[in-house]
Structure 1
């Protein structure tokens, strides 16, 4: 069971939105706060990212060709050829449809920078703890041979957007979907093993990683701390301490969270009856499941299903 993929799938609410952005100096593009998580990929040239949200405690920084930025909570920010260049929100006349995703053109007639800018629509009301533990801004450079898989994905995107051909309309959205996994995997794997904490350590820990995979694969199983500890070859107390320290909550609390997350996805995305949802998430009766779901989401499963369909 791929815990990273499952965690992201549990948060997705829509397909990503994106645009190819062409900036010619002098240029500055102001991007207001957005629901979900923002991302930028520098396909050509250089620019600056200027945080404009008081909750993002980071100074402006420069981006070069191949750099990738992931903004965990979609904060307001600006992109510009220089931090001193005034930034303005996009205008409808600056957007040009065509190609796989369309192009936004801003600025003057100076040196050109090309970016892929977009938003991953993730449920920030109930973020998975893996996402919640990320820095506010993840900045990854693919230069000098770093993050080769991410670099390859960026190269493929650059080629498809620069020279669209037959099949590009299907290839580009698929690459953008995959890009988020490449970004998060690159960040997780870039954390030094000796100092890694939280989920960066949990996903490779010899005791915690298999336990997480088991909980994700079989949320309907009657797991106990004892059974998970036995599989990990640790005492109950040692396993519980290790799991809680890395994941951020005790094993049974995480299991309940994952069961409810799984139930919510089934309610949103399928027509299976509530008895089936209850069985697939480890509850012996529809009543017990409905009680647990209402405690977690503040409404009954049927009401949640109707509301999610109406949204």
Structure 2
């Protein structure tokens, strides 16, 4: 059986090249406005609040939209799409966008000290940026939730403990082991749908048994000329109920999701340069090269042939740039 999440994660090629240990003493608050890369949090000890700025979050009364989470020891949070967020100690509100944050932050070897430098440490967390090695990341990340919060997951808790242990030790090859553990942690978090709290996206869609059937059919047979009616039938739902439930859970309409997945597959096949464009068009559900070309150009920003040539030229130039 096709696993849609595994396919997306495999195409994304997730990695965790950077992490640092943050220790904090209450009261404290930090806002991160730099949003160049996706971000993750591993709560090793204590707890905190997190506010994630989000275009589809709940309105907080200031015109800005956000989602607020409460993190506890052993929790893991992944923010796949780069966006600003704020964290703070328990018992206070995370600072909003534009709000002054007076908490002192002092650099220390391998991380940072937040709050009163003389205060008792009540929070330890591993934070860092992750990256997606795929050239299709811009197409695939929108299929993921805007945030993923995993709690009370035994396998993930074990990984968190291993990460925490490795972060405190000075063993040989520590950085390599940490990078591999964090990569596994990222993948485990994305696939832990049964115990995951997440904003709309593929994770939430797969957690719904009926929607999961439709999602698997789209991934198993992307070439089939699917319609909303046919997908609703796969989910054993009425057209209107399926459309509303899918859009609410996944964060996009069914046909919009199907288009994004087809385009990701098409880009991969074009980069591999093993099939003529006519075959790629057929494998991604288009009856002719022209209709495929129109859809691809509208979605990606350039015709399929030019995309394949640009990717090939980029690969050829890479060794010379190294």
Q: Same fold (TM over 0.5)?
A: yes
Deviations along 1:60-82, one digit per CA (max 9) or x if unpaired, are: x7644323233354333444568
Contact 1:29 1:78 survives alignment (8 Å): yes
Matched, 1:163 2:166: no
Shift, 1:262, TM fit: 1.4
Alignment of 1:32-71 (within 5 A): 32-47=33-48, 49=50, 55-57=64-66, 63-71=71-79
More moved, 49-58 vs 214-223: 49-58
Instruction: Report the counterpart of residue 106 of structure 1 in structure 2.
Output: 113
Q: Choose the corresponding residue for 2:220, options 214, 217, 221.
A: 217
Shift, 1:294, TM fit: 0.8
CA separation of 1:209 and 1:78: change in aligned 2, threshold 3 A: closer
Matched, 1:118 2:128: yes
Shift, 1:188, TM fit: 5.4
SS in 1 for 2:82: coil
Counterpart CA distance in 1 for 2:29 and 2:201 is 36
Shift, 1:2, TM fit: 1.4
Shift, 1:224, TM fit: 5.6
Contact 1:35 1:73 survives alignment (8 Å): no
Contact 1:36 1:120 survives alignment (8 Å): yes
**Gaps spanning 5+ residues in structure 2: where?**
55-62, 96-100
CA separation of 1:43 and 1:125: change in aligned 2, threshold 3 A: same
CA separation of 1:251 and 1:58: change in aligned 2, threshold 3 A: closer
Deviations along 1:27-75, one digit per CA (max 9) or x if unpaired, are: 765532313432111223445546689744356x764432323335433
Counterpart CA distance in 1 for 2:261 and 2:7 is 10
Matched, 1:272 2:285: no
Counterpart CA distance in 2 for 1:173 and 1:295 is 37
Q: Choose the corresponding residue for 2:261, options 258, 261, 265.
A: 258
Q: Choose the corresponding residue for 1:180, options 176, 183, 186.
A: 186
Instruction: Report the counterpart of residue 147 of structure 1 in structure 2.
Output: 153
Alignment of 1:290-309 (within 5 A): 290-305=293-308, 309=314
Instruction: Report the counterpart of residue 57 of structure 2 in structure 1.
Output: none
Counterpart CA distance in 2 for 1:14 and 1:204 is 21
Counterpart CA distance in 1 for 2:24 and 2:232 is 58
CA separation of 1:258 and 1:251: change in aligned 2, threshold 3 A: same
**Gaps spanning 5+ residues in structure 1: where?**
97-102
More moved, 198-207 vs 274-283: 198-207
Matched, 1:4 2:5: yes
Counterpart CA distance in 2 for 1:214 and 1:224 is 12
Counterpart CA distance in 1 for 2:53 and 2:244 is 33
Contact 1:40 1:69 survives alignment (8 Å): yes
Contact 2:105 2:113 survives alignment (8 Å): no
Deviations along 1:3-45, one digit per CA (max 9) or x if unpaired, are: 22333445x3763333122335477655323134321112234
Contact 1:41 1:116 survives alignment (8 Å): yes
Counterpart CA distance in 1 for 2:75 and 2:232 is 41
* TM-score relative to the length of structure 1: 0.68
Considering fraction of residues, name the structure with more strand: 2
CA separation of 1:180 and 1:247: change in aligned 2, threshold 3 A: farther
SS in 1 for 2:77: strand
